[in-house]
Chains A and B, each alone.
Chain A
Amino acid sequence: MTTDEATPDTDAADIPEINDGRYLYCVVQAESDAQLETTGIDGESVSVVAENGIGAVVHACDGLYDTDDLGQIQRWLIRHQTVVDAAGEAFGTPVPFQFDTILRGGEAGLREWLREETDTLQPVLSELAGHWEYRVEVVEYDSPDDETLVNQDERLSELDAQIEEASEGQAFLLEKQFDQRLTELRAARRETMTAELETELAEEAREVHTLERSPASEISKVAGRDRGGSSRDGDDDDDTDTDSPGDDGDSEAENNATTADSETICRLTLLAHEDSEDEIGSILDDVAAEDGIEVRFTGPWPPYTFAPAIGDDENNDDGDGGDTGGPARVGR
């Protein structure tokens, strides 16, 4: 019934059958008698299947969860997360799967897979034990206005003066240069602030990665993942807004992170031991104490961003450390 509900409008013939699938929530360190009292997506009953000390938290299903109903997606996502949370509480740091990951072959297939991947999963589980993902977003409410930047930057004041005296046509071109310079300065300022914070956090966290300033682009990349769209080249933690100086082309991306009265300076994700929470909190305290700065600090999350890709990598976009390239794949 899950399938029927999940894919009401889809031409069933197009969808590969999954007979006796197992929907995967996470793996945990667990012995064979492990149990988890919780309810899964769509009310399914969740069980723990363990081999070699590795427990997979799963429910039985026979199709991918698919719907165009946002409310339904939200419910599924939150339920998935709730199950992973329950697993974390019961067994310690869970290593979570991507939403909608289903293994074929019933329980036997799952056990077989766990045995085959023991050598991959076991070290991941022990390395991540006691560690969680934390997310930090720094938002600035009074970014320096244009005038302040003009006063601070020689090139800008120069352009400003030239514009005053230029003819209409020249002024137009100069204004473009002026805007571009402003954009560059703002980006450079963000980068400096971000780099400082990253350095500080790196002393307490095991890993620190920069995320795109707006989550939207991440999500659109998921939507385009099968076209290889989820990977970007290495230098681009900020390219949504700096690489295209055209004053229209970049405005959409820019708007994602910048509103009329605030600007996202950075979004970071950290992998840190739970004992380091206070130290990280106190670093962020200092940042948040600055005027006009707001810091959002969420977690502890299961280490989604630091979970590995498993299996042959023929589906990976090769080369540039793309989206499925192992624990460090957020390195943008």
Chain B
Amino acid sequence: MPDSFQPSRQQSDLADIVEMLLDKGIVINADIAVSIGDTQLLGIQLRAAIASFETAAKYGLEFPEGTDMQRVAEAAGDPELAEMERPKPAIDPTRGVNVTAADDDDDDDGSDDDGDEAGGDDGDDDASDDETAQDDTDDETAADTEGDE
């Protein structure tokens, strides 16, 4: 345990992100703006997917046992996923969302117009290759929490 309990952004933060970004944040109630809350027509797929997200969210978005987090991180193009601690076993792994399904969505790797997802010019932590996944975590998800479990 650290001397004093420090907040971290590592373990359960995907669940927090999902909840905060989709349910909170500034809402603009005006014709000039559109958002997923606006009409039945908007964000339908997103909302449907979120409904199935629930299964995962129940367990704090824990990934099924044996999930290769490095691979998930690559698929998601976000190295911090690789830094997630191996999640606790899901209660019923068969109900967990299979995050590796993202693999068959190859847009980011395949299409050249999306090049910066693959790590090129952006100075921040967007790189999706393994090595950078390691040293890129400094500012955002400082690995300073040994997570008390």
Contact = CB atoms under 8 A, between A and B. Distances in A.
A95 B124 contact: no
Contacts of A226: 37-40
A69 B149 CA distance: 31
Interface stretch (A151-159, A160-168, A240-248, A281-289): A281-289
A69 B102 contact: yes
A307 B25 contact: yes
A98 B25 contact: yes
B117 interface: yes
B19 interface: yes
B64 interface: no
A97 B32 contact: no
Contact of B49 (A68, A221, A294): A68
A231 to B, nearest CB: 11
Interface residues of B, number: 82
B107 to A, nearest CB: 6
A27 B97 CA distance: 33
A167 to B, nearest CB: 37
Nearest to A37: B123
B29 A18 contact: no
B29 A71 contact: no
A201 to B, nearest CB: 12
Contact of B91 (A85, A101, A137, A260): A260
B100 to A, nearest CB: 8
A304 interface: yes
B15 interface: yes
Given A68-B48, A74-B102, A299 B7 contact: yes
Interface in B40-69: 40-54, 56-58, 60
A99 interface: yes
Contacts of B12: 137, 296, 298
Interface string A190-231: 000000000000000000000000111011111101100010
Contacts of B148: 288, 294-295
Nearest to B140: A85
Contacts of B58: 214-216, 255-256
Most buried by B among A39, A282, A307: A39
Contacts of A300: 7
Interface stretch (A1-9, A47-55, A171-179): A1-9
B99 A66 contact: no
B30 A297 contact: no
B124 A298 contact: no
A16 B35 CA distance: 11
A96 B25 contact: yes
A99 B45 contact: no
B16 interface: yes
Given A103-B32, A135-B16, A214-B58, A64 B26 contact: no
Given A39-B124, A282-B4, A70 B116 contact: no
A107 B4 CA distance: 46
Given A77-B21, A223-B47, A285-B5, A14 B41 contact: yes
12 contacts: A37-B124, A39-B117, A77-B21, A97-B25, A104-B33, A133-B20, A223-B47, A223-B50, A226-B39, A307-B25, A311-B28, A312-B29
Interface of A: 1, 5, 7, 9-10, 14-16, 18, 21, 24, 26-27, 37-39, 42-43, 64-75, 77-82, 85-86, 89, 95-105, 109, 113, 133-135, 137, 214-216, 218-223, 225-226, 230, 255-256, 259-260, 277-278, 280-282, 284-285, 288, 294-301, 304-305, 307-316, 323-324, 330
Given A70-B52, A74-B76, 5 more contacts: A38-B123, A71-B102, A75-B78, A75-B102, A300-B7
